[in-house]
Amino acid sequence: MSLIKSKEDIAAIRAGGRILARVLRAVAEAVHPGLSTADLDAMAEKLIRDAGGTPAFKGYKAFGAQAAYPATLCTSVNDEVVHGIPSVHSILKEGDIIGLDIGMQYEGRYTDMAVSVAVGKTDDRAQRLIAVTKKSLDIAISKVCSGVSIGDIGDAVQTYIEAQGFGIVRDLVGHGVGHEVHEDPVIPNFGKSGHGPKLQEGMVIALEPMVTEGSWRVKIDADEWTWRTKDGSRAAHFEHTILVTKDGAEVLTM
Ligand code: MF3
Ligand code: CO
């Protein structure tokens, strides 16, 4: 299928993106000590279904995993980078940081989004990690326009993150989205300006920098989903679904 979305595609993704942003905001606001990550997942699933959508990650098979992803939400706590699986045994405590990643199918199209938040009060370094990661997504979005090389985005994100003294994850990347959860093009959060394919007006992409407090090196758990830092340092993740326009970008998950 073409990577350039039709008017109908864009209308459906825009409507879905707006709903998804509202759902994720509600879930993020519910985060507090004592809650389990399974509680957050149940809330996310109910909000999506009540809005007429379907959880996109539940039952998703990818990344070579044998088992389908079992939940609506990815909940990645502290040294978990992405794709942490919600569990009744994972109880949030004051000072934790958590990445909340969610995807929805709505009117046959997919949107994808993530935020990271602190559980109660956390330390200054964790707050800075979250703020810097969020800013790196804004920087990525500011590079987007028709004709830009994908390497320009990665270069800008990597340069900013490394100047802040943090690590930028290489093993996982942003991606096209819309007809599927993951489609082409692949959009690394590192790279060199002028390199890589060019974005075109009408593409819909998910930009998602993953940032570590320490080394950027990551590993995957035996559950085949949960990515965590090799050095045990904490990580943060933000993601938006974005329409590439002639002169810039329209954030669809807002
Ligand atoms: N937002 C996630 C990503 O782009 C999608 C996770 S799919 C899941 O990597 F199945 F792991 F949830
Ligand atoms: Co994504």
Residue stretches of the annotated binding site: 83, 101, 112, 175, 182, 208, 239
Q: Distance from the CA of 15 to the center of ligand 2, in angstroms? A: 18
Q: Distance from the CA of 94 to the center of ligand 1, in angstroms? A: 26
Q: Cα separation of 12 and 145, whole Å?
A: 21
Residue stretches of the annotated binding site for a divalent metal cation: 101, 112, 175, 208, 239
Backbone angles phi, psi at 67, to 5 degrees: -100, 145
Q: Cα separation of 208 and 151, whole Å?
A: 14
Domain locations along the chain = 7-251
What mean pLDDT value characterizes the chain?
97
User: In this predicted structure, what is the pLDDT of residue 1?
Assistant: 79
Q: Distance from the CA of 61 to the center of ligand 1, in angstroms? A: 10
Percent pLDDT > 70 in the chain is 100
- Determine if ligand 1 sits within 6 Å of the CB of residue 60: yes
Backbone angles phi, psi at 204, to 5 degrees: -120, 130
**Do the beta carbons of residue 169 and residue 132 sit within 8 Å?**
no
**Strand (E) or helix (H) holding 21:** helix 7-30
What are the tens digits of pLDDT across the range 89-127? 999 999 999 999 999 999 999 999 999 999 999 999 999
Q: Distance from the CA of 74 to the center of ligand 2, in angstroms? A: 11
Atom of ligand 1 nearest to the CA of 206: 4
What are the tens digits of pLDDT across the range 3-19? 999 999 999 999 999 99
What are the tens digits of pLDDT across the range 86-95? 999 999 999 9
State how far Cα 225 lies from the chain centre.
Answer: 15
- Determine if ligand 1 sits within 6 Å of the CB of residue 69: yes
Radius of gyration of the chain (CA): 17
Q: Distance from the CA of 113 to the center of ligand 2, in angstroms? A: 7
* Beta strands 80-82 and 174-176, pairing class: unpaired
Q: Cα separation of 202 and 213, whole Å?
A: 35
**Strand (E) or helix (H) holding 61:** none
* CATH 3.90.230.10 given to domain 7-251: yes
**Strand (E) or helix (H) holding 118:** strand 109-118
Atom of ligand 1 nearest to the CA of 58: 10
- C-alpha closest to that of 81 among 240, 253, 233: 233
- C-alpha closest to that of 20 among 108, 111, 92, 144: 111
> For the whole prediction, is pTM greater than 0.75?
yes
- Ligand 1 probe mutation, 60, 61, 172, most atoms within 8 A of CB: 60
Can you tell me the mean pLDDT for 55-63? 92
